[in-house]
Copies of this chain bind each other. A is one copy, B any other.
């Protein structure tokens, strides 16, 4: 139902442009012209009470006057009158509206009220809304350009979503020049209704779309995005350039206040979890799009072993360096340098020989202009070979205008040229990351019988934090180990409990009157019964209600596990290095809850201290399985009790067999 409405966004059977204008400088004119002149064959109606005809088409005073039903209304009128017109569209039975007009939530408090109004109107009439404050929508498959962008994209297999309309023109122009086309484009604007999640879900089943690329300044509902992307990215790679990654950037984006911005590391972890490819710059966004388009369009066989054919020594050394710095690619053999006098035939012979090599999956072809160089002919050779081999061919003809002729050959043949070898290698590496990221290990999680009463009672009583003993009970119910503990009144009781716990142990006073127990000598490490007696007697001088005995845990390696609530992603889970290194080295990894086993494994692998955990350099390491199990248990606990706001296990002391949560904080 929702999806069928979105179909009318990209494939409308009829379109009305409300605010279509005769003035060629107005956006209302541009959009109407783009639709008419773009070759769209379904009916398009201009709505403008002041005009009789626009570009030869009779204009209507109101959308209600159009005698036929309307799928899609594009609205380009001043913001204050949008609600009224939108209501008319709703009454008319319009399925989807694209609101181009600016002056909504991006423009202050009055605009925010207007945006709320249009949202309500959309809901009332079950009409989906794209925008407001956007560039429009384009579907090159049916020659439908419902935008005011000055450039028309080629027809292709890439769906492009953008939160910034202004980024459309340079990106699409550069893609066009590389011979890369779009299946569709949507400008998200303020995302009052339709957001990236709706569109990615819709595009999953769009047969024209093989790859989804998006420029985003915020995640509308990050939690949902991860769920959707996990499914979609199995079939169709999703490449996202996320700006506002820093406080400064987020502030510039004004999409949310800086303090509410999701930390970059959480976005990283979340995208990793959903196998979304994250581009770090506009350049990388384009390079990734190029590689993915090229490899997937021709259904190439994916491998990791790269051979280099070059007429230039320097660039091939840089390419070899770049390969060594990836985690997925291998140099199949030393670069084949066919020297400066290599002509097209020499390239052809060499490449054809290398293609036969079973040790080679990818061929990177480097060319700089030299003595015998035949730029255009060699480009044609590469394009021809690319069509006839299942192996991946990457070209890297270097230069400026000199190689424009080669670029034209490549463009015609859907083989994009990379400016520099290092960039091609980096993009190829991320392609592999996507390919390997699809293998997620899902194991059935055992739901643990939690001590529900504790949390429910605490929530009812309005308490914000569980006590240590309460937290320990919950943890134990989820098979998370905590130190053995006992509450005692006096030495007699303590003596008996100490036998069960075992020495050494910690003795701590219970006292509502004393805030800093350590300062008054209210905490001590006890080695034996004699010391226990002596210490209890001396602590009894303080104003105490009793004592806690706690097993003293010894182990070499400390980690931190936890969970918190992110404004965009909801509950996220964290693993990190413990002790002084935690905060200073910021050695942490995040995922969105719920996680699966491979997420837990991956989180630990992302930590810098992973080699220490694994047991490097003679160290014994810890039980990774145990920590993974705890991460899954935390994920389950939070799923069972979403009222948990924050959870902090610090430290978790780890040995080669055990992991024990020494201090657990659970905030509700």
Contacts and interface: CB of A to CB of B under 8 A. Distances in A.
Interface string A150-168: 1100000000001111110
Contacts of A30: 371
Interface string A206-249: 00000000010100000000000000000000000101111111
B248 A368 contact: no
A335 interface: yes
A150 B370 contact: yes
Given A248-B324, A283-B422, A169 B315 contact: no
A166 B368 contact: yes
Contact of A318 (B151, B249, B617): B249
A27 interface: yes
A312 B252 contact: no
Contacts of A313: 164, 166, 217, 253
A203 interface: no
Nearest to A244: B317
A81 interface: no
Most buried by B among A170, A246, A335, A580: A170
A170 B281 contact: no
Contacts of A611: 584
Interface in A305-333: 311-318, 320-321, 323-325, 331
Interface stretch (A59-67, A397-405, A471-479): A397-405
Contact of A324 (B150, B167, B246, B253): B246
Given A169-B370, A176-B400, A584-B616, A282 B320 contact: no
A398 B580 CA distance: 45
A619 B609 CA distance: 21
A399 B166 contact: no
A249 B166 contact: no
Contact of A399 (B170, B323, B399): B170
Interface in A146-195: 148, 150-151, 162-167, 169-170, 173-174, 176-177
A252 B400 contact: no
A251 interface: yes
Give the copy number: 2
Nearest to A581: B581
A423 interface: yes
Contacts of A246: 320-321, 324-325
B369 A150 contact: yes
Interface string A7-47: 00000000000000000010100100000000000000000
A340 interface: yes
A420 B164 contact: no
Contacts of A370: 150, 166, 169
Most buried by B among A25, A283, A320, A421: A320
A424 to B, nearest CB: 11
Nearest to A216: B314
A640 interface: no
Contacts of A317: 164, 217, 243-244, 249, 252-253
A165 B173 CA distance: 33
Nearest to A168: B368
Given A317-B253, A324-B249, A401 B283 contact: no
B169 A399 contact: yes
A317 B248 CA distance: 8
Contact of A320 (B25, B248, B321, B334): B248
A493 interface: no
A580 B369 CA distance: 50
A612 interface: yes
A323 B30 CA distance: 36
A652 B176 CA distance: 60
A340 B318 CA distance: 40
A608 interface: yes
A585 interface: yes
A371 B27 contact: yes
A423 B612 CA distance: 36
A371 B165 CA distance: 11
B420 A617 contact: no
A315 B368 contact: no
Contact of A252 (B150, B163, B334): B334
23 contacts: A25-B371, A27-B371, A30-B371, A150-B370, A165-B340, A166-B313, A166-B314, A167-B315, A167-B368, A169-B402, A170-B400, A173-B400, A215-B314, A241-B318, A243-B317, A249-B317, A249-B321, A252-B331, A252-B335, A253-B313, A253-B320, A282-B421, A283-B423
Interface of A: 25, 27, 30, 148, 150-151, 162-167, 169-170, 173-174, 176-177, 215, 217, 241, 243-249, 251-253, 281-283, 311-318, 320-321, 323-325, 331, 334-335, 340, 368-371, 398-402, 419-423, 580-581, 583-585, 608-609, 611-612, 616-617, 619
Cβ-closest 9 pairs across A and B: A164-B314, A166-B312, A249-B321, A246-B324, A170-B398, A248-B324, A252-B320, A167-B314, A243-B317
